[in-house]
Amino acid sequence: MADIFYTKDHEWIKVDNGEGVVGITAYASEQLGDIVFVELPQKGMSFDQGKDVAVIESVKAASEIYTPATGEILEINSSLEERPEVINNDPLGSGWLYKMRVLKPEELKSLMSEEDYNKLIGAKS
């Protein structure tokens, strides 16, 4: 059973057996509007928690993605290069951005549970 964590910057990470899948939340996708371009990190690169690793561009603006956890990029969702709108259609599923090896699992405690995240966005809307 994978655990899912959220950042206050609207990323999610689903962690299973030391591997994480990262994406943006439905709330973020809705706020951004039509997504037209995604710039993803390269496989093999390593980042510290909170570092900007990717860029998502909607019709309106460019937004940076900060990695929810420290680790190494294992795989990127290269289908987004041709079809970035998949993030809008399925942000928590096929619109995932990258997979990573989570090197500091203790960091995940600093992230939010689904319940806490829903409270955060509930307060915004």
Partner 1 sequence: MSELLNENVYVEKTSLFDFHNKMNAKMVSFGGYYLPINYAGGIISEHKHTRSKASIFDVSHMGQIEINGPFVMEAMEKILPISFSRVLPGKIKYTQFINSEGRIIDDLMIHRTNNENSVWLVVNAACKEKDMRHLKKNLNKNFTINLRDDLSLIALQGPKSELALSRVIPCISSMEFMSSIWVNYKNYKVLISRCGYTGEDGFEISIPNKNVTSFTEILLKNPEVKLAGLGARDSLRLEAGLCLYGHDISQEITPLEAGLKWSLDKERLNNADFIGGYAIKDELINGSKRNLLGFLPKGRAPAREGTLIYDSQDNLIGEVTSGGFSPSLSIPISMGYINSSLLDQKEVFLDVRGKKIPTEVVRLPFLSHNYFKKVN
- In angstroms, the CA 25 to CA 17 distance is 22
The SS3 call for residue 56 is strand
Stretch that binds partner 1, among 25-33, 70-78, 98-106, 108-116 (CB under 8 A): 25-33
Q: Which stretch binds partner 1 (CB under 8 A): 9-17, 41-49, 70-78, 106-114?
A: 9-17
Query: Is-contact 91 26, C-beta < 8 A?
Result: yes
Among 36, 74, 92, 112, binds partner 1 (CB under 8 A): 36
Considering the complex, state which of residue 71 and residue 91 has its C-beta at the smaller distance from partner 1: 91
Show the tokens assigned to 123.
Answer: 């307060």
Residues in the chain: 125
Interaction between residue 28 and partner 1 (CB under 8 A) = yes
Provide the token pair at 102.
């989570």
Q: Tell me how far, at minimum, the Cβ of 78 lies from partner 1, in Å.
A: 13
CB 92 to partner 1: min, Å: 15
**Subset of residues 53 to 82 that bind partner 1, contact rule: CB under 8 A:** 55-57, 59-66, 81
List the end-to-end C-alpha distance of the chain, in Å, as a whole number: 31
